[in-house]
Structure 1
């Protein structure tokens, strides 16, 4: 897999990480109902992922460990909320956790090797992974394995759109496709797509896909990022925006329903704004430094992993790039549940 040089640097950083004593939360069990929850990957290769819970006047680091007496595991990849539960994919520990959203109490764990991203539909939890060519289907109530869908290659980001499951197929090595999966039959159709599809955004009831491009960090030739629009089962996807050179990339596609926002680099990117009908954006809203990007309720959540070994932070910005708030987080913050 590519990006080995970057991973080696990150692993070296983690050898200097010092563990922190969790802060005890105040208030009755259920205090987390109204708190935002930041998912922190944790040190790469050692240590544990964590959850930071916060509001305007509350900050609880290592909240999951505080409530359960054991850590999440090594390298948190993705977290979703559904039916008062959180579902968390822990990549290096080969684990999916089911967690009560209101109390952060652990409910169940399931073993899936190298899980990546999650999507939920009805009573089913879909899990992409880097171990084999399947998307696994779990029962959301207890984590038991219900079924699997053969994809022909490793899978990444997932989303439910128009009553179908969509998946980015291919990791840092192609071939890359956009997979469209019937939720009733699990029939799969692959559509041509740009290199390294990494995130989805629904804008005006239409599905758009951001591809980062193949980035080799000086070890080989890059390919450019691109934005694609899903045109339907028969027509597949078409490219609607691309940069002028191969050095431009993008991750963290997010939207307010009208405009899209993303980071203009795979690591340490700045926020850019894009609207359907425009070409690849060249002006930035913020300084670089972002590891991932989310959008919620008029705010852009910018995840700054700092040195990938010590505590990071989450900065919220307006859609014009004005700084609103800075929230202390754990090691490598990557996502927030609102």
Structure 2
């Protein structure tokens, strides 16, 4: 079975599991939302089931109270099909809805809808800003390797004003003083480059070769750190994962590490002078002054019975982990301190995948 057929088979299995639930389309407001005030707390983006249009947003306030289905509670309608990511610009929140091919724009403090962006959006993934423009990675048709692009948004009108063609599968996008770095994870294929895009000319100026499937990127001073998961064994063409340190002045790889055979890391975060990354159910820590893989995990999420580690973020000195469970049940948010000690957990909705601090 070739790579694309295997991916279709995986999608079929996931959709079959999702169709086995009787209540996954039901919108339930667990608690009344705070009255028009979502400041000083953390949003949790819940992806929802593929094709089920039950994506949602949860909010955890400073007292630890959880409010689920915030978008529905405020606006009286569902968010859409597969919430991919969210980002803030001034007083607005942009929620990228992948399979619906839309971006919902809301007031980040009241969550009232401002507008829905539909034109110029095709399978949106992630977004960043330079000045008054937003830059959005789009897969287009994941089966077409030639239609991927970065959309340029005028934040004053919320209209797409340009599209920049890029290699297949643009995923994470990061702004470094007007220079954009785009990780090409691959659509239904697999990518292994980082594009350097000049926001002024809106053109690609450089391409940096890395390992297969580059994911999260973080920066410290003039260095860009990229973690690449490599192709998994299920592809029939397994490749090594890698860790890269790239000088953003020269756009040259200064250091790189290959993971062992069969080891495929997940998420990457930075905390002061440390890099933290996930591997299966464990979290590892690496000092920036010693760019080498850790021999022992900082901590494991196994004691909390995490089913699928599906999101990872450091906020206000705490580590937030999303547990997607079995992809059809409601998920959970688990909080650890920076030493890896479990603090508390919160019940959220289907497939939590990201955390956004609204302080």
TM-score by length of 2: 0.87
Q: 5+ unaligned residues in a row in structure 1: which ranges?
A: none
Spell out structure 1 runs of 4+ moving beyond 4 A.
none
The range that moved more, 249-258 or 18-27, is 18-27
Residue 275 (structure 1) aligned with residue 281 (structure 2): no
Question: d(CA) in 1 for partners of 2:136 and 2:17?
Answer: 29
Distance 1:167 1:292, change over 3 A: same
Q: Does the CA contact (< 8 Å) of 1:84 and 1:101 recur in 2? A: yes
Q: What is the aligned partner in structure 1 of residue 129 from structure 2?
A: 120
SS of 2:10 mapped into structure 1: helix
Question: d(CA) in 2 for partners of 1:76 and 1:214?
Answer: 24
Q: What is the aligned partner in structure 1 of residue 144 from structure 2?
A: none
SS of 2:38 mapped into structure 1: helix
TM-score by length of 1: 0.92
CA displacement at 1:174 relative to structure 2: 3.7
Distance 1:57 1:133, change over 3 A: closer
Q: What is the aligned partner in structure 2 of residue 147 from structure 1?
A: 162
Kindly tell me the number of residue pairs found equivalent between the two proteins.
332
Q: What is the aligned partner in structure 2 of residue 48 from structure 1?
A: 54
Residue 25 (structure 1) aligned with residue 25 (structure 2): no
Residue 178 (structure 1) aligned with residue 197 (structure 2): no
Matches within 5 A, 1:1-338: 1=4, 3-17=7-21, 18=23, 19-29=26-36, 31-55=37-61, 56-111=63-118, 112-131=121-140, 132-171=147-186, 173-188=189-204, 189-217=206-234, 219-232=235-248, 234-245=250-261, 247-265=262-280, 269-276=281-288, 277-284=290-297, 285-287=299-301, 289-338=308-357
Q: Does the CA contact (< 8 Å) of 2:178 and 2:200 recur in 1? A: no
CA displacement at 1:239 relative to structure 2: 4.3
Q: Does the CA contact (< 8 Å) of 2:222 and 2:247 recur in 1? A: no
The range that moved more, 20-29 or 270-279, is 20-29
SS of 1:291 mapped into structure 2: strand
Question: d(CA) in 2 for partners of 1:313 and 1:14?
Answer: 18
1:129-163 CA-partner distances (Å, limit 9, x unpaired): 11122100112233211111121323111111243
Q: CA RMSD in A?
A: 1.9
SS of 2:28 mapped into structure 1: coil
